Amino acid sequence: AYDVLVVGGGPAGAAAAIYSARKGIRTGIVAERFGGQVSDTMAIENFISVKATDGPKLVAGLEQHVLDYDVDLMKTQKAVRLEKKEFVEVELENGAILKSKTVVLATGARWREMNVPGEQEYRGKGVAYCPHCDGPLFKGKKTAVIGGGNSGIEAAIDLAGIVEHVTVLEFGDTLRADDVLVKKAESLPNVSIIKNAMTTEVLGDGERVIGLKYTDRKTDESHLVDVAGIFVQIGLVPNSEFLKDTLELTNRGEIVVNGHGETSLPGVFAAGDVTTAPYKQIIISMGSGATAALGAFDYLIRQ
Ligand code: FAD
């Protein structure tokens, strides 16, 4: 059995594996797709001490660093079940069962997509999901935010300070964001909000986004908005489906953790975007991966 088995190979999982292996204990890491969301990222400019890098480079660095230690790296393996018996058991899609004294869950999250024509084609070419990450790329340009919940309105307020103009498109007839955020957004001269708007298509010139199409759900009329950037803010979905009924999740599916990365199941820790920890960022998920590994080590020496 392992001492620490990390499930997930994004920045949180990589950090957890390195911190754990540095304690000289048996460490394994199993990941469906090593690198996680970072693999899909073009420019990274907020990974402190590295002025600019890109996803594939950072992923290669993560893997090299992990393999520098005595870590069992199991790539392209998906966990489908977790159960606590004498050990914590993690079942993989291929039927294998891995046993460990402790587990760090770092399975990350995925942005909910609009599923409209053009979205995939222009992903990273104007279609973006993270305002903290990609906002500055649209400096002085027109952008749209899809979604009028808290993250959408926060994104609009954030972007308003950088870009020329922000159009928020909300599907429903009211904004779901907190009142104070809505008031703030409405007070900004370069933010406009359109309700009852169903985005139907991302438009591009073959290279980059040039606009979007939406249908007014009240009148059924179709409209065009010309924008260079589209921030899709309709939800971040934690990859925690396989953990339902095994440990405490919030109603949005995030794993509930405390300051030591402990979940509701003793010996099982969690880190990164899959957890309740706020602000989903590379540097933050790495920090929480380190926390969870140290939490697991603490747990082991007390057994
Ligand atoms: P993830 O990166 O999501 O990794 C999860 C890992 O778990 C993956 O290896 C996945 O394959 C694996 N996994 C999932 N389910 C299972 C399972 N059942 N079994 C086994 N393995 C599983 N942040 C920044 O700080 N700066 C940026 O510039 C930036 N740009 C971004 C651009 C894009 C397009 C996106 C999508 C995100 C961006 N982010 C950025 C956010 C950042 O990528 C995430 O906050 C970070 O990757 C979270 O790390 P994580 O390890 O928690 O999860």
Choosing from 133, 173, 220, 226, the catalytic residue is: 133
pLDDT, one tens digit per residue, over 72-102 is 999 999 999 999 999 999 999 999 999 999 9
Q: Ligand 1 mean position to 195 CA, how many Å?
A: 31
37 Cα nearest atom in ligand 1:
2
Active-site position among 68, 130, 179, 220: 130
Annotation says 134 is catalytic: yes
- Report the 10 Å Cβ neighbour count for 32: 18
Ligand 1 pocket, 28 CB below 6 A? no
What integer best gives the mean pLDDT of the chain?
A: 97
Pocket test for ligand 1, best of 75, 98, 130 (most atoms within 8 A of CB): 130
For residue 38, the CA-to-ligand 1 centroid distance in Å is 6
User: 136-155 burial by CB neighbour count: b if 16+ within 10 A, else e?
Assistant: ebbeebbbbbbbbbebbbbb
Strand partners for 274: none
Residue having the nearest C-alpha atom to atom 23 of ligand 1:
281
Q: pLDDT by residue (tens digit) across 242-301?
A: 999 999 999 999 999 999 999 999 999 999 999 999 999 999 999 999 999 999 999 999
Is 237's pLDDT higher than 90? yes
Segment 139-198, tens digit of pLDDT: 999 999 999 999 999 999 999 999 999 999 999 999 999 999 999 999 999 999 999 999
Q: Are 280 and 133 in contact (CB under 8 A)?
A: no
- The pLDDT of residue 173: 96
- The answer to whether the annotation marks 269 as part of a ligand binding site is yes
Is the pLDDT confidence value at 43 over 90?
A: no
**Whole-number Å distance between alpha carbons of 16 and 13:** 5
> What is the chain's length?
303
**Tell me: the pLDDT tens digits for 198-217?**
999 999 999 999 999 999 99
The whole model's pTM is what? 0.90
Q: List the Cα angle 30/286/149 in 5-degree steps.
A: 100
Q: Is 151 in the pocket of ligand 1 (CB under 6 A)?
A: no
Out of 134, 178, 205, 226, which one is annotated catalytic?
134
Helix (H) or strand (E) run with residue 81 in it: strand 79-84
Q: How far apart are CA 275 and CA 72, in angstroms?
A: 24
